[in-house]
């Protein structure tokens, strides 16, 4: 029994997702009419009615007490988790015991991440996000909600079955030679060819990578490209998996999976149309086009391109930030020059903004309200920088988000903006040709990536948090092929244990504990987190600050805990590059502790090597 919903402050549901069990329960409770055609809107109404008191109570608590609910749990172990992002309230419910409070919180943060990937800076404005998530047109809304629901389900499936989504790090296929060959191929042949072709419609390939199921075979970034963060790469893998689900995780027979793949190969009416994705950069969420080209079932080539006018995003963001700062300072009661402290001179900003607005006007993009702001802020009769300026300051924010949306939202770009289809086809066939002989090997390799030789060691996961990559033996309990652990109830049992070990370790890490060992039933579990410099010299531990219970979950996909942790540690080691590693192990409990710890130490040393494969 699961549910996730987004609502705004006026208790309007902006999006919801439920499983059938939850839907049935609601219908039973409200005796929703079963008439065809009327069923759907009626269900939405009952969801609205059911949650409205909770949503309204939330805003009352925030307004009157400055506090808010973060979770409820009931005697029959139903869990409700709530989180407010700006004007948007997220509620996640579980009533079947499959998810913990932490899982639900993570799901909420992932949902937030997905909306950021899809809508970029538009999410900064509550009013615009509402428009985006809840389009007036019912058909359009149904299409969008269907897409979001499917993404959420894809994420849940990956989180449940895929270790790289368990620890939120990208898994590499360990084959250094092939990896290097592929990177070279992507660089010298593919990207160069596309970027020098006239039919690329002003787009430029910045990143190209090959996925075997969810595992990364090769990744290439062009020299002009800014860094692609692991959190984004993980989110992109969700998008790819949503378009081309791997049969590896579908609990079906292989023939059926083959069949479904046939139908899934054309998921959109327009297969050569890219998806618009907004990726993190130092300045702001930058718009990109994403092309997913299925090489074979399970193997996908992904191209990320820079789109025309994307520099506008940077300037919009610059001013948006300025207005956010101004608003904050005005809210805090600063007035006059103090309100503008820490920003370039007012006059300079003013002229820059005016210049930009003129340029945008030339592109048929209007910014209303700017005159109003100018009059109030700068004219002699106006109030200057006082709290009276707040409404027009907020208005400017919305306007800027609107400009951003007009420039970059997928439907505003026009359907012609894409790499020419023949260019896409060419790219596809080039890589297909290159990997033809490797295809079967890769599919097998993706399931038996690494093997273990320590007696008594049941499982391990090794993560390099500095580059967001992990290594672990496979644990595919639903797959037909046998993984290192075999299959059946034991494998399933171990899988559950591994999942709970990671959750436990993260809970302790959140409270500042970087080493944890546990004796649980017949097994012994270890967790280690440590820092090294580039040469592999182990650095001294530091006290990791413990984060509040309502903070972001520990992970990379959401709010990137480890990036912050590394930044925190690096402050104390400014002269060297700091790397961060994690090791999770499961041993048989009968093995003496000394041996277990020796194993862990050897394992860490041994696994250090494969992570040195260059990514470029």
Question: Would you tell me which residues interact with another protein (CB under 8 A)?
Answer: 29, 50, 53-54, 57, 60-61, 64-65, 67-76, 78, 80, 93, 95, 504, 507-508, 511-521, 526, 528-532, 538-544, 548-550, 581, 583, 593-594, 597-598, 600-601, 603-604
CB atoms within 10 A of CB 337: 10
Tokens found for residue 584: 């999770």
Tell me whether residue 145 or residue 528 sits nearer to another protein (CB atom).
528
Exposed, middle or buried, 545 (CB in 10 Å: 0-12/13-18/19+)?
Answer: exposed
At closest approach, how far in Å is the CB of 506 from another protein?
13
Asked whether the CA dihedral 28, 33, 34, 36 is positive or negative, the reply is negative
State the minimum distance, in angstroms, from the CB of residue 486 to another protein.
Answer: 22
Q: Which of 404/562 has CB closer to another protein?
A: 562
- Measured from the CB atom, is 304 or 526 closer to another protein? 526
Least Å from the CB of residue 481 to another protein = 31
Q: Closest distance between another protein and the C-beta of residue 279, in Å?
A: 31
Two structure tokens written together for 514: 């970087």
With respect to another protein, which residue has the nearer C-beta, 26 or 477? 26
Nearer to another protein, 318 or 513 (CB): 513
Reading phi first (left if > 0) and then psi (alpha if -120 to 50, else beta), residue 211 is in beta
Q: How far is the CB of 108 from another protein (least distance, A)?
A: 14
What's the closest the beta carbon of residue 105 comes to another protein, in angstroms?
11
| N-to-C CA span, the chain | 44
Smallest distance from the beta carbon of 92 to another protein, in angstroms? 13
CB of 597 to another protein, least distance (A): 4
How many Å apart are CA 294 and CA 301, to the nearest integer? 6
Three-state DSSP class for 104? helix
Q: Say how far apart CA 192 and CA 186 lie, in whole Å.
A: 8
Closer of 122 and 457 to another protein (Cβ):
457
Can you tell me the distance from the alpha carbon of 257 to that of 359, in angstroms, rounded to the nearest whole number? 52
**115 touches 123 (CB < 8 A):** yes
Calpha distance 287→284 (Å, rounded): 9
Q: Which is nearer to another protein, 258 or 520 (CB)?
A: 520
Q: Which is nearer to another protein, 336 or 545 (CB)?
A: 545
- Residues forming a β-bridge with 578: 533
Backbone angles phi, psi at 117, to 5 degrees: -65, -40
Closest CA to 390 of 332, 315, 318, 350: 332
Comparing CA positions, the residue from 495, 526, 534 lying closest to residue 508 is 526
Nearer to another protein, 51 or 185 (CB): 51
Please, what is the minimum distance in Å from the beta carbon of residue 65 to another protein? Answer: 7
Alpha helices by DSSP H, listed for 229-272, are 230-243, 254-264
């Amino acid at each position: 029994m699961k549910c996730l919903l987004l609502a705004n402050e006026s208790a309007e549901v902006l999006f919801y997702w439920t499983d059938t069990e939850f839907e049935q329960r609601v219908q039973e409770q409200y005796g929703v009419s079963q008439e065809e055609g009327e069923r759907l809107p009626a269900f939405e109404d009952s969801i609205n009615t059911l949650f409205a008191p909770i949503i309204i109570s939330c805003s009352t608590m925030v307004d009157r007490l400055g506090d808010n609910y973060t979770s409820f749990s009931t005697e029959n172990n139903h869990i409700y988790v709530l989180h407010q992002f700006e004007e948007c309230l997220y509620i996640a419910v579980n009533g079947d015991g499959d998810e913990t409070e932490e899982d639900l919180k993570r799901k909420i943060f992932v949902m937030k991440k997905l909306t950021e990937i899809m809508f970029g800076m538009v999410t900064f404005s509550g009013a615009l996000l509402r428009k985006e998530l809840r389009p007036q047109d019912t058909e359009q809304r149904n299409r969008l909600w269907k897409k979001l629901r499917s993404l959420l389900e894809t994420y849940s499936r990956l989180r449940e079955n895929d270790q790289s989504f368990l620890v939120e790090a990208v898994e590499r296929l360990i084959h250094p030679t092939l990896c290097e060959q592929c990177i070279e191929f992507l660089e010298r042949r593919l990207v160069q060819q596309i970027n020098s072709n006239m039919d690329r419609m002003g787009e430029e390939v910045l990143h190209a990578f090959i996925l075997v199921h969810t595992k990364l075979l090769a990744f290439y970034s062009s020299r002009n490209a800014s860094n692609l963060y692991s959190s984004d790469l993980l989110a992109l893998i969700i998008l790819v998996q949503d378009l081309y689900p791997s049969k590896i995780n579908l609990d079906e027979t292989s023939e059926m999976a083959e069949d479904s793949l046939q139908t899934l190969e054309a998921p959109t009416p327009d297969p050569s149309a890219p998806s618009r994705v907004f990726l993190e950069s130092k300045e702001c969420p930058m718009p990109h086009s994403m092309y997913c080209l299925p090489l074979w079932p399970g193997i996908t080539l992904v191209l990320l391109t820079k789109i025309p006018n994307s520099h506008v995003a940077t300037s919009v963001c610059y001013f948006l930030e300025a207005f956010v700062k101004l608003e904050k300072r005005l809210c805090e009661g600063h007035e006059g020059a103090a309100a503008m402290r820490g920003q370039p001179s007012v006059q300079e900003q003013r002229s820059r903004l005016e210049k930009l607005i003129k340029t945008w006007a030339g592109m048929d993009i209007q910014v209303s309200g700017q005159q109003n702001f100018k009059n109030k802020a700068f004219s002699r009769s106006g109030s200057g920088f006082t709290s009276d300026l707040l409404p027009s300051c907020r208005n400017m924010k919305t306007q800027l988000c609107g400009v951003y949306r007009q420039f970059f939202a997928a439907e505003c770009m026009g359907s012609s903006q894409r790499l020419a289809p023949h260019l896409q086809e060419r790219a596809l066939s080039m890589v297909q040709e290159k990997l033809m002989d490797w295809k079967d090997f890769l599919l097998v390799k993706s399931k038996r990536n690494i093997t273990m030789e320590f007696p008594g060691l049941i499982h391990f996961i090794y993560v390099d948090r500095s580059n967001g990559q992990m290594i672990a033996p496979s644990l595919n309990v639903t797959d037909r092929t046998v993984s290192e652990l075999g299959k059946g109830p034991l494998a399933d049992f171990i899988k559950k244990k591994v999942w709970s070990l990671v959750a436990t370790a993260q809970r302790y890490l959140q409270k500042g504990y970087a080493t944890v060992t546990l004796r649980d039933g017949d097994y012994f579990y270890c967790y280690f987190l440590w820092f090294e410099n580039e040469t592999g010299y182990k650095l001294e531990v530091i006290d990791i600050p413990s984060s509040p219970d309502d903070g972001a979950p520990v992970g990379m996909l959401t709010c990137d805990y480890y990036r912050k942790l590394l930044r925190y540690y690096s402050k104390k080691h400014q002269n060297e590059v700091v790397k961060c590693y994690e090791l999770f192990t499961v041993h048989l409990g009968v093995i003496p502790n000394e041996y277990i710890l020796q194993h862990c130490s050897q394992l860490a040393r041994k696994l250090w090597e494969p992570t040195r494969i260059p990514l470029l």
